[in-house]
Amino acid sequence: MIRAKVTSKGQITLPSRVRERLGIEYGDEVVFDLTDEGIARMTVLKRPSLSSLYGALRVHEDYPGSDEIRRRIKYRLAGESADEGESG
């Protein structure tokens, strides 16, 4: 049995053996399921890695490059500024 002490703020530190055994890392979340009998079951929700998100969004066109992106942003911002002046 592994123990952890509750602080005055109701927090606990998961002992390293528990973190290692369950593969818990920084950014992961835990969910507690409580029963009427006073038993708690903890489930680990792993934080998705950046590489696991690859391909999650559909690409509609090739990346035009940083300079072109900057040009488009300036164009859009200039258009929004002109639109704001018309409404006043």
Q: What is the pLDDT of residues 33-88, one digit of tens each?
A: 999 999 999 999 998 777 777 777 888 888 889 999 999 999 999 887 666 665 55
Summarised one tens digit per residue, pLDDT across range 28-38 is 999 999 999 99
* Paired tokens of 68: 């072109």
Per-residue pLDDT at 80: 74
Per-residue pLDDT at 83: 63
**Confidence (pTM):** 0.51
| CB 2 within 8 Å of CB 8 | no
Q: Which of 48, 33, 42, 57 has its CA nearest to residue 12?
A: 42
Average pLDDT over residues 1-23: 95
Q: How far apart are CA 12 and CA 9, in angstroms?
A: 9
Can you tell me which residue has the tokens 């079951």? 41
